[in-house]
Amino acid sequence: MTEEPTATAADLNQFRASFYLLLSKSFSRELDRDTLKSIDKALEALIEAFDLLEIPPEENFQTGKKILRAFFEQTRHEDDTDVIAELARCYASLFLGVGSRTVSPCESIYRGEARRLFQSSHFEAQQAYREIGMAKSEGYHEPDDHIAVELGYMARLCELTQEAVEVSRERQAHYLTLQKEFLEKHLLSWIPDFSRDLLESTQSPLYQGMAHLLNGYIKADNQLIKSMIQDI
């Protein structure tokens, strides 16, 4: 017989899933008007929720939060057509190879030999996705170790952990362990370098804020996962 799930455990995993999805969406493609507005709304709500849950603060996370709050406060008073056009230019310049200082959003470039795509990390990520029955959208053609896909995988694991709260501690521990392993083997091994390169390559407050937020969040979340495993 399983113990009754606590609201805190279920809520925490839902918040974490939502945060990973927000990060994934931010890096998946050029932002359109609706996506930008949804990020603005979701970011503030999620940050407030994390504050209420007393998740330990991390310096980069706090820096990113301040930058993004200032960015969204300013853009609410600007022509959103101009804002979207500028963000599209930034995305193309940074991630699509049309600028002088591009940043690869793929793990293989950072961890593979000779900075090439489709190295071992790409196939390791594919295998991890298959093990939980996750597949990319057919319309999304980026490599499987693209940052948006890896963050989407973490979001899915958080969802599965939330569902497991109502099943057993063993299932919760299983999915939390998968999260810990993927964070430590993949995200934490290249995201800090990716974030550094992003900060050095752009003056866009949105992408500077996201670089800080992402780097800080994965570090804080790794500690949180360890704590959750210990509690189980």
- Kindly report, residue by residue over 140-184, the tens digit of the pLDDT: 889 999 999 999 999 999 999 999 988 899 999 999 999 999 999
**Domain boundaries in the chain?**
9-231
Task: Give the confidence band of 4 by pLDDT, cuts at 50, 70, 90.
Answer: very low
- The percentage of the chain sitting over the pLDDT mark of 70, rounded to a whole number, equals 97
How far is Cα 208 from Cα 210, in angstroms, rounded to an integer? 5
Task: Of 1-10, 68-77, 171-180, 204-213, give the lowest mean pLDDT range.
Answer: 1-10
Cα torsion angle, 25, 206, 211, 18, sign? negative
184: three-class secondary structure by DSSP = helix
Q: Which tens digits make up the pLDDT trace of 7-18?
A: 477 788 998 999
The Cβ-side half-sphere exposure at 145, using a 13 Å CA radius, reads 27
Mean residue pLDDT of the chain comes to 90
Write down the architecture of domain 9-231 according to CATH.
Orthogonal Bundle (1.10)
pLDDT at 85: 95
Per-residue b or e along 163-172, where b marks 16 or more CB atoms closer than 10 Å to that residue's CB: ebbeeeeebb
> Which helix (DSSP H) or strand (DSSP E) does residue 43 occupy?
helix 33-52
Cβ pair 13, 157 in contact under 8 A: no
Cut 0.85: pTM above it: yes
97-116 pLDDT, tens digit each? 886 789 999 999 999 777 88
User: How far apart (Å, rounded) are the C-alpha atoms in residues 40 and 71?
Assistant: 9
